[in-house]
Structure 1
Amino acid sequence: MPPGSHRIRSIHYLRMIAAVMVVTYHVFSYHLMSADDPAMTRWLREGVGLFFGISGYVMVISTSASPPDPASFFWRRVRRIAPLYWIATACVVIGTGEENGWKILSSMLFLPSMGIADGPVLPVGWTLNFEMAFYALFALFLPVPRRIAIPALASILILASCISQFPDPPPLAAYYGQPILLDFVAGMLIAHFDFRLPGWLTPLGFLLLALAPQWTDIRPLTVTVPVALILASARSLDHKLKDWPLPTLLGEASYAIYLSHLFILLPALLFFGQDHAGGGAIAILASIVAGVIAHKYIEIPLTELLRQVERRGFGLAQQADGQAT
């Protein structure tokens, strides 16, 4: 973490944990490793819910001091999310010979295929459909005073999260109107009200993620409440956390790890076969290493290139304005 960085260590390290959770879950769900009770490993998939909670938190915190205009905000999110995802998607298209044009186009545009195709080309891309929709909605509320915007947006997302529970909702509404939206709400409200709990409750949040599905199948109780508990309590640990190099690096590379890990797990499955504990452990480690490499040598250079293009374009625009006046 560079000196003077405003990065929140607890949130940054939770990114690392969320990415490793998803990778480990897929090691089990793709049967590289087996568990005596598969239900005991399913909670790891809720690394996605933790990612969504983090997104809600970070969007509020990062725009609170000086809200950007909606277009600039949304462009920065596209610049952050899209390039690496497009590259990963293109690799899958080339590798699989995917010919469904709508599936490819909807994947690239972060849109659901709505029954025309079976989800995004890159399977984990479904989460980015929700992320981009959240960013677009969040952008619309940026011009509104913060004391009104955050509660209003949270209320809209809460109402929308109920749509899929009604009989025969329109397909698009059923797709986006899922309880998973409440994870964004939890992060937003914790950030907006600066709500914190004692740091020792953080492990309890992860324990609830693992155990709550044994007691109920109501997702807000099995995921959103534990995620909120993790976020609110982890914030109280910041004074104890240091700039440890490895967790910092893995937090920075968490998005790349998330996008790239299936490129490692599926070949590992072919090489080691199913239910190979050693192969599963190697696949987890290799996925993390591959994600770090993708972050350092693809994601960072791409992001910097886009920033340079953006700065150059802004400079040319200013020059043209100067000449015009």
Structure 2
Amino acid sequence: MNDIHSIQYLRGLAASAVVCFHISEQFSGPFAVGAAGVDLFFVISGFIMWVTTVDHPVDPQRFMWRRIVRIVPLYWIVTVLTALAIFVKPQFLFGHMLSPANFFGSLLFVPIMQDGSLHPVVIQGWTLCYEMMFYVIFALALLLGERQRFAALIGVLTAMVALNLLLLRGYPFTSPLMLEFAAGIVVGRLWMEDIRLQLVLALSLVVGGFLLLMTAQMLDPEMPRVLRWGVPATLIVAGAVFAERARPFSPMALFTFFGSASYSIYIWHVLVVVVVTGIMLRLGVPPNWQPALIAFVSISLSAMLYLAIEKPLTGYLNPSRAKSIPPVGQRSGSRLPSNETKD
């Protein structure tokens, strides 16, 4: 499938931001906003799931199988390697939790909870637990017609959050973060309805989203995450896709590659950062240079693991991929995002 290039770019940006966040955290740096890469991923996920399934029949079982093939094998590989690393060198992976219950629970996307949060063996894997819950809900919604599907998805995701606020406070799968998937679905529906914005307005949404990301934390540190980062992420995604519709552009191969590699960058980066940090220390790299060098090398190596492991693995497990675009994509005059995204 063809890509919406701006979505590819945002995927690469989101994964890289999370890497930089963890490295900044390791060095007590100021880049807390990098964690908002997760919120970008959630909005992108809702957008892509809607756009790639609307206006043409999609079997729920096939949909889930494609999601499982895309997410699970690599996640299991990284989980096993992380567990081995924790067992051999626990001091290098401080904060990770390894136990038989958490290991097998992590593999099934139901890890243990600590301090009210999911805590799988691969610590950044908590987001995949939310993703898989969203995929299950979306697969069930595929049994409905398009109009009923949209209403059901928004209604169910909203009801889950309402339950969290009223009855199930602290239960992770009803977190307000689920609204970020809903926001992506809304953007996706508007995009597939061939809505058009003037380029200036669309770019203003992108710029406004980034400004909100940078300032919301300072203005109100206690603001709920779905408002602090979810709203700006939605503005950025919406602005980017409508700006591209208003002014299509030729893709840059490097940025497109990092978008394709975003899942590998995200899922491998903690292990890779640990290894790269150890090498930097052994080489005696000056402390002031370490954060930037670790980030650059870690992102690059994680992207290479996409070529070495993820891409051939996914191709082997799912050799028959859709080769056509639904007519609505041609009607809109824009390109559809790949149905292989991590989101």
> TM-score, structure 1 length as denominator?
0.84
Amino acid at match of 2:134: F
Distance in 2 separating the partners of 1:42 and 1:226: 15
Gap regions ≥5 residues in structure 2:
88-96, 322-343
Q: Over the residues paired in the alignment, what is the CA RMSD in angstroms? A: 2.4
Q: Name which of structure 1's ranges 49-58 and 102-111 shifts more when overlaid on structure 2.
A: 102-111
1:39-96 deviation digits (Å, cap 9, x = unpaired): xx21110100000000000000010132311111001000001111111111011112
Give 1:231's aligned residue: 237
- Partner of 1:161, secondary structure, is helix
Give 2:143's aligned residue: 143
Amino acid at match of 2:273: L
Report the Cα offset of residue 272 of structure 1. Answer: 4.7
Gap regions ≥5 residues in structure 1:
311-325
Match of 2:250 among 242, 248, 251: 242
Counterpart contact for 1:92–1:121, Cα < 8 Å:
yes
Counterpart contact for 2:276–2:298, Cα < 8 Å:
no
- Partner of 1:277, secondary structure, is coil
Give 1:108's aligned residue: 107
Distance in 2 separating the partners of 1:44 and 1:252: 19
Give 2:73's aligned residue: 83
1:105-159 deviation digits (Å, cap 9, x = unpaired): 1111112324699711111110000000000010000020111111221121122
Report the Cα offset of residue 275 of structure 1. Answer: 9.5
Distance in 2 separating the partners of 1:88 and 1:222: 30
Counterpart contact for 1:264–1:283, Cα < 8 Å:
no
Matches within 5 A, 1:55-204: 55-97=45-87, 100-114=99-113, 119-166=119-166, 169=168, 174-194=171-191, 197=197, 198-201=201-204, 202-204=206-208
Amino acid at match of 2:258: L
Give 2:42's aligned residue: 52
Give 2:212's aligned residue: 208
Counterpart contact for 1:10–1:241, Cα < 8 Å:
no
1:11-48 deviation digits (Å, cap 9, x = unpaired): 111101101110111111111xx44xx3xx21110100
Distance in 2 separating the partners of 1:309 and 1:184: 27
Give 2:26's aligned residue: 30
Counterpart contact for 1:268–1:279, Cα < 8 Å:
no
Distance in 2 separating the partners of 1:264 and 1:231: 28
Counterpart contact for 1:196–1:235, Cα < 8 Å:
no
Residues 298/103 of structure 1: CA separation in 2 closer, same or farther (3 Å cut): same
1:255-274 deviation digits (Å, cap 9, x = unpaired): 00001111122234445569
What's the % identity of the aligned pairs?
A: 34
Residues 275/20 of structure 1: CA separation in 2 closer, same or farther (3 Å cut): farther
Give 1:219's aligned residue: 225
Distance in 1 separating the partners of 2:166 and 2:279: 45
Counterpart contact for 1:103–1:113, Cα < 8 Å:
yes
Residues 43/170 of structure 1: CA separation in 2 closer, same or farther (3 Å cut): closer
Counterpart contact for 2:118–2:172, Cα < 8 Å:
no
Matched, 1:8 2:12: no
> Which has the higher relative contact order, 1 or 2, with Cα contacts under 8 A spaced 6 or more apart?
2
Residues 207/166 of structure 1: CA separation in 2 closer, same or farther (3 Å cut): same
Give 2:307's aligned residue: 296
